[in-house]
Chains A and B, each alone.
Chain A
């Protein structure tokens, strides 16, 4: 039995591994390197406190940094622009159990996406509860074992391990949902369901998803989705009809769209959880693109040292030359100062 198990796991490793390597390596060629530095000791963690898996990171218009992280309990911390701790938000909140994403909207409201409670929550800039989408499974239904088999049908207002949230200029809300649904949902600004793309079923056709893991909306209202297990990014129009697919950027872990008149897209080919052998050679870099998909450059690499990344889970790009990244497997948040882009326009594809 023992040898059988070992044999099975070896095969699984080989199969899974080789499969993963082949697809995770980005196929984009001739991409210029953007040089950067990581600001040392960026966040000042209060004495006696510990940052956990830094899966969510976002800034507001004042440059304050919000970190939604998995410590003993999932917690949301606010720091000022210098990285000095300001306060905790949502202490003991019912919708905090297993952090996945935090984003700040154009009015500086703070939104959390919690995949442990299936909730997306809107807090005011001061951290007061404003609105919740989704519902935490009632504890009275009992302890839940991980289910096998096909996902139950997706419901309009119920998420299944949602992953990210974004808004179009009109304030409509977009949610990527998630690990056990495979869809993107659009709500109006008051939380009323409007449309969805995908369903509970995974798929790899246009408008289908296999673990939509990150989402942002550009100034034209197009929805950028990191379609992680399909190793691609999909762009949907404002009504969630598929427009474009990018398959040359490796795994689609997470995406960020900078604000302003000239927007940039940042897409992370994060190194996989577990740091399997060889993965550092093929993954870990972040791409900078124009909205039309033109690749401007890339930066970063997998590493446990500062300046390198351990599974980038989220990026903030409010300032496209100062990227704040949160990592899972190193419990840290880094602020990356990008050097000006190469003078020559690249011909990367």
Chain B
């Protein structure tokens, strides 16, 4: 306890200083391109879990839409549906849907495109991290969907809820590729795969490019290398891993083997990360507002990889240039971003000045 107190004081002091620094963060002026996506009349985006562009500028949107469904079967209830993956050309014109009726598409969490233009899907409910080839066929799966879901008995109102999720398979957690509400995926230059297994579990799992499990680090806590939650992940050209520790309001940086290096605590609650490509890399981090409140937070930070704040832009709200719980950022171009929003069920294409 004695040791803990001075630490706490120090933390408070640092937090105070950083809050001051935050006020001095320059505003980046920006515009939002009107109607960046053209949808057919019979297709509606729902909550946008993920948005990403490939090398040709084609845009992929993984969205919670349609009807999440529970079917009654032999002694059990089966859940399916609820999310769809759409592909648009670089002008935002709808091209096609990918993965109709997929067993793994339930609660869209993220889509990322790797350097070979493979499409990676992270589904928070089915627990899959799916690698699709550029044409949309499944190449590799990490994780497995729980066979059935639990339908709970009535609980007292306001009792916290969430008790009904039968998500985690027995044994889910460390040292396996079974995830519990995974949130994001990233790769290093060698093709190693990093999965943020980040809400039901609080860890990062590393696999080689063939999907062989290498290691896992992190558990619930507040110290270095521990997580409140891992809401997003990004890897820089040197192979360092940046984890959005939303639960602890910080970004943690690890080396390629998961050794803690440093942390950035002045960017609110990071919920979406993106690192630009090229020799001079930047990190974008969204201090996303909680879905139940648009009167707080919402801004996106631009940082150098060492944590130096370059600027910030935007705020929570429903208008263009406002954000409703950003869950995804694409920064293939440093000045032309795509952001996917949960609260506003849309994608915005931003031009930073």
* Residue positions of A touching B, CB distance < 8 A: 73, 87-88, 90-97, 127-129, 131-132, 135-136, 138-153, 155-158, 180, 190-193
Of the residues B39, B106, B158, B294, contact of A139 by C-beta under 8 Å: B106
Q: Is the CB of A93 within 8 A of B163?
A: no
Known: A94-B46, A94-B64, A147-B157. 15 other contacts (CB 8 A): A91-B44, A92-B44, A94-B47, A94-B65, A97-B67, A132-B344, A139-B79, A139-B107, A140-B167, A143-B79, A144-B161, A145-B152, A145-B153, A150-B157, A191-B317
**B297 CB-CB contact with A under 8 Å:** no
Instruction: Name which residue of chain A comes closest to B43, CB basis.
Output: A92
B205 to chain A, nearest CB (A): 19
By the criterion of a CB under 8 Å from any partner CB, how many residues of chain B are at the interface?
54
Chain B residues with CB under 8 Å of A150's CB are 157-158
Instruction: Name which residue of chain B comes closest to A180, CB basis.
Output: B157
Q: Is the CB of A143 within 8 A of B164?
A: yes
Q: Is the CB of A139 within 8 A of B164?
A: no
Contacting residues of chain B (162-188) with chain A, CB-CB under 8 angstroms? 162-167, 181
**Given known contacts A93-B65, A143-B152, is B106 in contact with A135 (CB within 8 Å)?**
no
Instruction: Name which residue of chain B comes closest to A155, CB basis.
Output: B292
Report the bound CA distance from A153 to B158 in whole Å. Answer: 8
Chain A residues with CB under 8 Å of B66's CB are 92, 94
A96 to chain B, nearest CB (A): 8
Task: Show 21 residue pairs from A and B whose CB-CB distance is below 8 angstroms, ordered by the A residue.
Answer: A92-B65, A93-B46, A93-B65, A94-B63, A128-B39, A136-B47, A138-B64, A139-B64, A139-B107, A140-B107, A141-B165, A142-B163, A142-B166, A143-B70, A143-B152, A147-B157, A148-B154, A150-B158, A156-B292, A190-B317, A192-B294
Chain B residues with CB under 8 Å of A140's CB are 106-107, 124-125, 165, 167, 181
Q: Is the CB of A152 within 8 A of B107?
A: no
Report the bound CA distance from A149 to B82 in whole Å. Answer: 30
Q: Is the CB of B70 within 8 A of A145?
A: no
**B319 CB-CB contact with A under 8 Å:** yes
Q: Is the CB of B165 within 8 A of A147?
A: no
**B138 CB-CB contact with A under 8 Å:** no
Report the bound CA distance from A193 to B318 in whole Å. Answer: 11
**B151 CB-CB contact with A under 8 Å:** yes
Chain A residues with CB under 8 Å of B158's CB are 147, 149-153
**Given known contacts A93-B44, A140-B124, A142-B150, is B293 in contact with A147 (CB within 8 Å)?**
no
Contacting residues of chain B (66-100) with chain A, CB-CB under 8 angstroms? 66-68, 70, 77, 79, 82
Q: Is the CB of A191 within 8 A of B294?
A: yes
Report the bound CA distance from A308 to B80 in whole Å. Answer: 41
Most buried by A among B64, B294, B319, B345: B345
Contacting residues of chain B (86-143) with chain A, CB-CB under 8 angstroms? 106-107, 124-125
Chain B residues with CB under 8 Å of A127's CB are 41
Q: Is the CB of B164 within 8 A of A73?
A: no
Instruction: Name which residue of chain A comes closest to B181, CB basis.
Output: A140
B31 to chain A, nearest CB (A): 18
Report the bound CA distance from A135 to B43 in whole Å. Answer: 19
Q: Is the CB of B344 within 8 A of A143?
A: no
**B159 CB-CB contact with A under 8 Å:** yes
Q: Is the CB of A132 within 8 A of B157?
A: no
Report the bound CA distance from A144 to B159 in whole Å. Answer: 12
Q: Is the CB of A146 within 8 A of B154?
A: yes
Chain A residues with CB under 8 Å of B77's CB are 143
Most buried by B among A97, A148, A151: A148
Instruction: Name which residue of chain B comes closest to A135, CB basis.
Output: B291
Report the bound CA distance from A148 to B68 in whole Å. Answer: 24
Report the bound CA distance from A58 to B310 in whole Å. Answer: 50
Chain A residues with CB under 8 Å of B43's CB are 92
Instruction: Name which residue of chain A comes closest to B291, CB basis.
Output: A135
A36 to chain B, nearest CB (A): 37
Q: Is the CB of A141 within 8 A of B46?
A: no
A92 to chain B, nearest CB (A): 5
**Given known contacts A150-B157, A151-B157, is B68 in contact with A139 (CB within 8 Å)?**
yes
A162 to chain B, nearest CB (A): 14
Q: Is the CB of A139 within 8 A of B318?
A: no
Instruction: Name which residue of chain B comes closest to A158, CB basis.
Output: B292
Report the bound CA distance from A129 to B153 in whole Å. Answer: 36
**Given known contacts A73-B67, A92-B66, A142-B149, is B154 in contact with A147 (CB within 8 Å)?**
yes
Report the bound CA distance from A150 to B41 in whole Å. Answer: 42
Instruction: Name which residue of chain A comes closest to B42, CB basis.
Output: A91
B264 to chain A, nearest CB (A): 28
Chain A residues with CB under 8 Å of B64's CB are 94, 138-139
Contacting residues of chain B (303-353) with chain A, CB-CB under 8 angstroms? 317-319, 342-346
B86 to chain A, nearest CB (A): 12
Q: Is the CB of A141 within 8 A of B67?
A: no
Instruction: Name which residue of chain A comes closest to B155, CB basis.
Output: A147
Instruction: Name which residue of chain A comes closest to B151, CB basis.
Output: A143
Report the bound CA distance from A94 to B47 in whole Å. Answer: 8
Chain A residues with CB under 8 Å of B151's CB are 143, 145
